[in-house]
């Protein structure tokens, strides 16, 4: 009889551990989705009008999008 109780207890423990593991995994997924959604926010009033090709763009001088900022930095450092 003691063997049966030990097996039942182990099964309950594994069930609870598995449930906790998946609950934590779901929470981590929710946090990741929230952070990813926040990072996709564009600057207000700015959208790329030249399909990401910054150097020939008419709005390049006033653009604050990440691609344009990177291109401006590269030009400032003297990269070709």
Contacts of 36 (CB under 8 A, 6+ apart): none
| 4 and 33 together in one domain | yes
Q: Do residues 30 and 60 both lie within one domain?
A: no
Same domain membership, residue 56 and residue 36: no
A 10 A CB-CB count for 63 gives: 21
Asked whether the predicted pLDDT for residue 1 surpasses 50, the reply is no
Are 49 and 66 found together in one domain? yes
Q: Does one domain contain both 33 and 65?
A: no
Span 43-75, pLDDT tens digits: 666 777 777 788 778 888 888 888 888 888 888
pLDDT at 75: 83
Map residue 48 onto helix, strand or coil.
Answer: coil
Encode pLDDT of 20-46 as tens digits.
Answer: 999 999 999 999 988 887 765 556 667
Q: Write out the residue range of the structural domain in which residue 65 sits.
A: 44-80
- Quote the pLDDT of residue 26: 96
Structure confidence at residue 19 (pLDDT): 94
């Amino acid at each position: 009889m003691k063997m049966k109780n030990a097996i039942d207890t182990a099964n309950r423990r594994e069930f609870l551990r598995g449930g906790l593991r998946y609950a934590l995994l779901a929470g981590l997924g929710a946090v990741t989705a929230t952070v990813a959604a926040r990072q996709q926010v564009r600057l207000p009033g700015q959208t790329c009008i030249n399909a990401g090709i910054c150097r020939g763009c008419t709005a390049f001088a006033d653009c604050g999008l990440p691609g344009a900022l990177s291109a401006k930095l590269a030009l400032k450092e003297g990269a070709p």
